[in-house]
Amino acid sequence: MPTPDSSSPQVVEGLEGVVAAYSRICFVDGVQGRMLYEGYDIHDLAAHASFEEVAYLLWHGELPTRVQLDALNRELLGARALPEPAMAIIKGMPKDALPMDVLRTAVSVLGVYDPDARDNTRPSNVRKSVRLTAQIATVVAAIDRARNGRPPVPPDAGLGHAANFLYMLRGERPDPVATHALDVALILHADHELNASTFSARVTAATLADMHSAITSAIGTLKGPLHGGANEAVMRMLLKIGDVSNAVPTIKQMLANKEKIMGFGHRVYKTEDPRATHLRRMSEELCRRTGQLKWYEMSREIEKYMLAEKHLHCNVDFYSATCYYALGIPIDLFTPVFAVSRITGWSAHVLEQFADNRLIRPRAEYVGPRNLTYVPIDRRG
């Protein structure tokens, strides 16, 4: 890109460090490695809360009472089944379609069938947030079943959100260790301030478009390997490496080739990502119990090397890859599983945007030519 002259306004590429909104949903301190949802430390929530409590916290700004949580659980249960036309579209997709593409399409379709479709008030948008949280889990499980030629597994009203997702995916009830691991992973991924997909959701919402449009935008943004797609890329890299003894030599070669190592680096964190602390521990536990500790060991080798050589810490996607792999989740569902959680943060940000809205419309510094004269098509060389 040409360098603008000194009279040009300063362009902040990638909007790094730009503060674009007031928000009380998620606090991130990239220097101290601290992260809060609505004032509660992520470590405290990961240790004690359930994903459903965290969802309520993000939408309402306070932890639910028992009565409020029971009501939310009933609403989530009631919203798990998809409208038949949405399920038909999932079933009709090509078997080799990317799950993120099908998820993005399904959420857009769900907007058409939403009972509150034309209502953009807060009560309606809170209902849409709950509904989408329940439905996205069903969509992701149904995508995997459909492409394998299997019928969707109807939701089990006796299971919480994390356990029911694993049940709908695999067709058997998960054990408590798997359920707890996924529940914690969902808590850790629920929100992260103005990350790219959330910003995308807020830009769409700021035009006063509807919740489903904002979430569809967010899913499209999450897909990229520099954002949510990194967890899939991490697992593919580990599988290619294959063995612990190959880990460091492969990474060295990749760095020498100027390749980025997926799952490392972060726009905000310059120290350990507090979410990675939990995911590392969970990865060890889950890989050990499946007799596949080598994926964890390989990750540790890479992590130590990247820190020593590049001063880069791993991010949320690095250890979530091996956690999901050990949970038996297919690799191309890792990013959709991110969405199963992040829908709560996205929708909370949409609610916050609507509550005090201003169109988000930055400027670009024009660096193209000026004063060109139109040449009729037949005279163009």
Q: Which of 112, 157, 226, 239 binds ligand COA (CB under 6 A)?
A: 226
Residue 328 — left, alpha, or beta (φ > 0 → left; ψ -120 to 50 → alpha)? left
Q: Which of residues 316-345 bind ligand COA (CB under 6 A)?
A: 316-317
- 315 belongs to the binding site for ligand COA (CB under 6 A): yes
Nearest residue to ligand COA, using CB? 265
The contacts of residue 144 (CB under 8 Å, 6+ apart) are: 99, 169, 330, 333
If the CB atoms of residues 102 and 314 are measured against ligand COA, the closer one turns out to be 314
317 catalytic? Reply is: yes
Q: Segment near ligand COA (CB under 6 A), from 92-100, 176-184, 198-206, 309-317?
A: 309-317
Residues 248-267, one symbol each (x = binds ligand COA by CB under 6 A, - = not), give ------------xxxxxxxx
Q: Segment near ligand COA (CB under 6 A), from 21-29, 178-186, 225-233, 333-341?
A: 225-233
Least distance between ligand COA and beta carbon 27 (Å): 17
The tokens for 151 are: 């019928």
Residue of 144, 191, 317, 349 with catalytic role: 317
Task: Report the 10 Å Cβ neighbour count for 87.
Answer: 18
If the CB atoms of residues 188 and 230 are measured against ligand COA, the closer one turns out to be 230
Whole-Å CA distances, 11 to 17, 58, 312, 369: 12, 33, 26, 18
Least distance between ligand COA and beta carbon 233 (Å): 7
- Applying CB under 6 A, what is the total number of residues that bind ligand COA? 17
If the CB atoms of residues 207 and 271 are measured against ligand COA, the closer one turns out to be 271
Least distance between ligand COA and beta carbon 188 (Å): 12
Q: Which of 36, 49, 142, 230 binds ligand COA (CB under 6 A)?
A: 230
Question: Is 145 in contact with 91 (CB distance < 8 Å)?
Answer: no
Show contacts of 360-369: CB within 8 Å, 24+ apart.
Answer: 360/20, 360/202, 360/203, 360/206, 363/9, 364/11, 365/4, 365/8, 365/9, 365/11, 367/1, 367/2, 367/4
Residue of 189, 266, 278, 313 with catalytic role: 266
If the CB atoms of residues 236 and 260 are measured against ligand COA, the closer one turns out to be 260
Q: Which of 2, 14, 123, 149 binds ligand COA (CB under 6 A)?
A: 14
266 catalytic? Reply is: yes
CA 161 to chain centre: 16
Least distance between ligand COA and beta carbon 181 (Å): 20
Least distance between ligand COA and beta carbon 100 (Å): 15
Least distance between ligand COA and beta carbon 236 (Å): 13
- 222 belongs to the binding site for ligand COA (CB under 6 A): no
At 233, the amino acid letter reads A
Least distance between ligand COA and beta carbon 135 (Å): 25
Least distance between ligand COA and beta carbon 347 (Å): 20
Q: Are strands 26-29 and 40-41 parallel, antiparallel or unpaired?
A: unpaired
If the CB atoms of residues 284 and 303 are measured against ligand COA, the closer one turns out to be 303
Task: Report the 10 Å Cβ neighbour count for 121.
Answer: 10
What's phi and psi for 45, nearest 5 deg? -70, -40
CA nearest 335: which of 11, 153, 55, 100? 100
Cα dihedral value 323, 326, 328, 329, nearest 10: 20
Q: At what angle do helices 334-355 and 99-113 cross, to 10 degrees?
A: 40
DSSP summary character for residue 376: -
- 33 belongs to the binding site for ligand COA (CB under 6 A): no
Q: Tell me if residue 29 falls in helix, strand or coil.
A: strand
β strands within the chain, DSSP E: 26-29, 34-37, 40-41
Handedness of CA 89, 91, 94, 95 (dihedral sign): positive
> Can you give the binding site for ligand COA, defined by CB under 6 A?
14, 226-227, 230, 260-267, 310, 312, 315-317
- Catalytic positions are 266, 317
